[in-house]
Chain A
Amino acid sequence: SQKIEQNSEALNIQEGKTATLTCNYTNYSPAYLQWYRQDPGRGPVFLLLIRENEKEKRKERLKVTFDTTLKQSLFHITASQPADSATYLCALELDSSASKIIFGSGTRLSIRP
């Protein structure tokens, strides 16, 4: 069955450093992958989408890579700030014909001043 794994432990990073979050998947080949941010008690907020033919995508201080050989995506936040503290979810397309995506369980990121 399809499986998505994100860093199970919370990530604590010093302000100003680069935070790197990992999303690994098995048993299928998604055409694209999405990253979301979720604050406590709120719905996820879409950040970035990367397609299988794209190796890297950037948006301001965010960078996402997608390695279809390793079946892994890395999510980077450069020059991290306390306001970046949140849970970050990756989501993969499960079936392009039915447009189903499945979410990982998320990684909680804390940026300390």
Chain B
Amino acid sequence: EAEVAQSPRYKITEKSQAVAFWCDPISGHATLYWYRQILGQGPELLVQFQDESVVDDSQLPKDRFSAERLKGVDSTLKIQPAELGDSAMYLCASSSSQQGRYGYTFGSGTRLTVV
């Protein structure tokens, strides 16, 4: 069964350092999402791509976060500088339709701890 690949699975970084997460969606899925999930809460959308274009980044803290999907396939989410409050699970998801009406496929996530 096709999966969304994410790496690394775990990351510990010191505050003020830079950190990057990588995601490879299911082949052929044009829509890619990055979510942040704080323990005990539901996932919150950070950024949505349609192919290589950003569709929605209204909730992305652009002073420190950036995301790219240069060739419309895999994607990178970066945080610089990391802050203690950024500790969370970062999830990547992809969908075969922009409307997401067939459900999203999530990766296993990257657990970030900022110390």
| Given A89-B42, A106-B42: A43 in contact with B102 (beta carbons within 8 A) | no
B75: chain A residues within 8 A (beta carbon): none
Q: Is the interface of B mostly helix, strand, loop or mixed?
A: loop
Contact check, B106 vs A44: say whether CB atoms are below 8 A apart: yes
Q: Is the interface of A mostly helix, strand, loop or mixed?
A: strand
C-beta contact mask, A1-24 vs B, less than 8 Å → 1, else 0?
000100000000000000000000
Interface size on A, residues (CB 8 A): 24
Contact check, A101 vs B55: say whether CB atoms are below 8 A apart: no
Contact check, A43 vs B100: say whether CB atoms are below 8 A apart: no
B31 at the interface (CB under 8 A from A): yes
| Given A98-B56, A100-B48: A46 in contact with B43 (beta carbons within 8 A) | no
Residues of chain B whose beta carbon lies under 8 Å from any beta carbon of chain A: 4, 31, 40-45, 48, 55-56, 91, 93, 97-109, 111
